[in-house]
Amino acid sequence: MLGEEREVLRPPPPFTTDSLLREASRLLRLNATQTMALAQDLFELGFITYHRTDSTRVSDAGIGVAKTYITEKFGAECFKPRTWMKEGAHECIRPTRPMDQDKLRELIREGVLRPVKALTAWHYRLYDLIFRRFMASQMPEAEVVKQRFAVEIPELGLRKEMEHYVEAARKGFLEMWTMPMGSRLQPCKVKVKKEPRPIIRKVPTVTLFTDGELVQLMKERGIGRPSTYAKIIDVLKKRLYVQESRRGKLVPMPRGIRIYQHLKEHYEDFVSEERTRKLEALMDAVERGEVDYQEVLRELYEEIKRLP
C-alpha cells in the first residue's frame, strides 16, 4: 500500500438531457428512448421540469424546493444553494415539488395526488434519480478517505498504481447521491496476505458504447442537441445500423458498416463531424438573428448542386 489521504468531493450539477441519459443508462440500464419516454410522462404529469435542456441553471423556485426538503430531512446546515449557471432561459431537470419517491408514492396511494396516467416502477426509479441528483447539487461537499496502492506483475514487467475510497469522513452530498462515476466506497481497506495469481485475458480493441456513453460522446464532439440525442440512437436501431447487445452495448451491424463506408467514400465532406458542428453553429447563429437563414440555405443548395 502506498498510503492514505483525504479528498474533498464537490457535488455534481443537476441533470441536463445528456447527463440524464448517461446516468439512466449506467444506473438503471435504460436506453435513451426509454428514458426520454419516462421523462416525458413525468414532465406532462407536472412532477419534473422540462427534460430537453442543456442548461444546469437552477431558478429561485428550484432553490426553494431544495431548501424545503433538505432542511426538513437533514437540517439547515446541509443546505448549500447553488444556481450553477447564472444566465439562460432554460433550467436544469429537477423535481417541481419537495417530495421524494416515497412521499410521491404515499400521496398517490392515498389519493391526494391523482395523475391522469398511472406511474410504473420505472417512472418512480427515474423520478428518484432526478430527485436525488438535484438535491445533491444543493448540498455541501463531501470529504472522503482515499487509499492508494500498487499492483505489480514482475513476470510481465507491469506495475499499476490504483486508488479507491474507503470511508466518508463527512458525507455531505453523498447522503443523496453516489460516488463519482467508476468509483464507490469500499468498507474494507486493502490487505494483501499472499501474492495473488495474475489472470491474463484478451480484451477487445474496438470500443463499444452504451446509449448513455454514446450520448456523452455526441455531447463532447458537438453533435446533436438535447431534443435529438434519443432520436438519433432510435433511428440507428430501427434501421438496423446497430444492435443492442445483452450488456447494453451498441454493436455495428453489416448494413450500418456498408452505409458508413459508402458515405465516407462519396460524401465525406457532407457527413463528417466537422460539417455537423458547423451546421449546428450556423443554426445557433440563425436563432440569435446573426445570420439570414435564406442565405444559409442558398449556400448549402449551391454546394449540393455541385455534387457529381
Active site residues: 50
CB 100 within 8 A of CB 133: no
Tell how strand 250-252 and strand 242-244 pair up.
antiparallel
Query: C-alpha cell of 7?
Result: 479528498
CB 168 within 8 A of CB 185: yes
CB 245 within 8 A of CB 251: yes
Phi, psi angle pair for 151, to nearest 5°: -115, 125
Buried b (16+ CB within 10 A) or exposed e, 31-54: bbbbbbebbebbbebebbbebbbe
β-pair partners for 170: 143
* Pairwise CA distance, residues 117 & 119, whole Å: 6
* Pairwise CA distance, residues 75 & 66, whole Å: 12
**DSSP, res 185:** B
Torsion of CA 11, 38, 50, 178, to 10 degrees: 0
